[in-house]
């Protein structure tokens, strides 16, 4: 475990105010993008734009994560934490590439497929990132926090199950397959909220708030997507994609703020 002095040297004591204009621009940007896709309808151009947005967003997040990891090369724990985050979004980048190959080049249904292995890898790597950060700054968790870690995921998964039962009398393969991903996404969000609580009064408070917003957006996208797959209602131009696009760039902004704090 690194000492308190090394922790203080790792993070500069600088102002970490959130520039809400950037977050608003991200929201406006993804909404305008969706309007363009809706206007184009189902076409090769709209598919190209969707693939470009997905691949570009995951690649940007991957690069930003590894940049922070290099900045923390003198800190074994935080260096590993941010390389784990880079690995998470590198997996997602590879998932998008695999998805493109299946659907765009081979004309095959990418759900389910080998791409899902890369999609799922996002969660364990991000969880490693979050756990390492939480342990680095706060090795002991309070009882209410431990209860939150159990009850919140169970509550969301229960709600997801109830909505699925309203759609079908019997839960099928799509539900059980999807709930694995939903559980991973919800667990990631739960840990991110714990991190935000721990860091809320530190110089990293604003950074973690932005990070949590990005993970919330990703979680909404994941839960909505897997519910759509149960209903067979997903297509390339579906608005659910907006939550993923927003998530990538909000997290990139959080990482940019983090770089300024190192």
CA 64 to CA 93: how far, in whole Å? 13
Q: What are the tens digits of pLDDT across the range 48-80? A: 999 999 999 999 999 999 999 998 887 888 899
Mean pLDDT of the chain: 88
The candidate with the shortest Cα–Cα distance to 85, out of 201, 221, 215, 245, is 215
Q: What are the tens digits of pLDDT across the range 186-238? A: 999 999 999 888 888 777 788 888 999 999 999 999 999 988 888 888 888 99
Residues in the chain: 262
pLDDT band for 138, please (50, 70, 90 cuts). confident
Q: Would residue 232 be called left, alpha or beta, if left means φ above 0 and alpha means ψ between -120 and 50 degrees?
A: left
pLDDT at 24: 96
Cα dist. 7→27, 120, 200, 204 in Å?
A: 34, 32, 16, 12
Helix segments in the chain, DSSP class H: 4-10, 20-40, 44-71, 76-100, 115-137, 143-167, 173-199, 205-231, 240-261
Bond into 247 cis (ω within 30): no
In which domain, by residue range, is 8 found?
4-261
Our count of domains for the chain comes to 1
Q: Which of 87-91, 103-107, 137-141 has the highest mean pLDDT?
A: 87-91
Tell me, letter by letter, the H, E, C secondary structure of 218-240.
HHHHHHHHHHHHHHCCCCCCCCH
């Amino acid at each position: 475990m690194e000492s308190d002095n090394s922790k203080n040297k790792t993070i500069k004591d600088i102002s970490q105010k959130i520039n809400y204009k950037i977050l608003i621009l991200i929201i406006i940007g993804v909404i305008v993008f969706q309007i363009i896709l809706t206007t184009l309808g189902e076409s090769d151009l709209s598919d190209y734009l969707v693939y470009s947005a997905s691949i570009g967003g995951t690649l940007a997040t991957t690069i930003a994560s590894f940049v922070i990891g290099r900045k923390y090369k003198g800190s074994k724990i935080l260096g590993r934490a941010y390389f784990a985050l880079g690995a998470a979004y590198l997996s997602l980048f590879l998932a998008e590439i695999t998805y493109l190959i299946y659907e765009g080049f081979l004309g095959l249904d990418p759900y389910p497929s080998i791409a899902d292995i890369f999609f799922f890898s996002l969660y364990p790597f991000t969880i490693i990132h979050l756990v390492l950060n939480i342990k680095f700054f706060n090795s002991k968790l309070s009882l209410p926090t431990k209860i939150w870690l159990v009850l919140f995921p169970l509550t969301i998964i229960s709600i997801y199950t109830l909505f699925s039962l309203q759609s079908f009398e019997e839960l099928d393969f799509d539900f059980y397959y999807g709930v694995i991903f939903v559980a991973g996404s919800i667990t990631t969000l739960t840990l991110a909220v714990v991190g935000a609580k721990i860091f809320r009064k530190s110089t990293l408070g604003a950074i973690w708030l932005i990070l949590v917003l990005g993970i919330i957006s990703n979680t909404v996208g994941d839960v909505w997507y897997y519910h759509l797959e149960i209903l067979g209602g997903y297509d390339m131009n579906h608005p659910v994609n907006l939550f993923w696009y927003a998530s990538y760039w909000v997290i990139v902004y959080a990482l940019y703020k983090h770089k300024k704090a190192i």
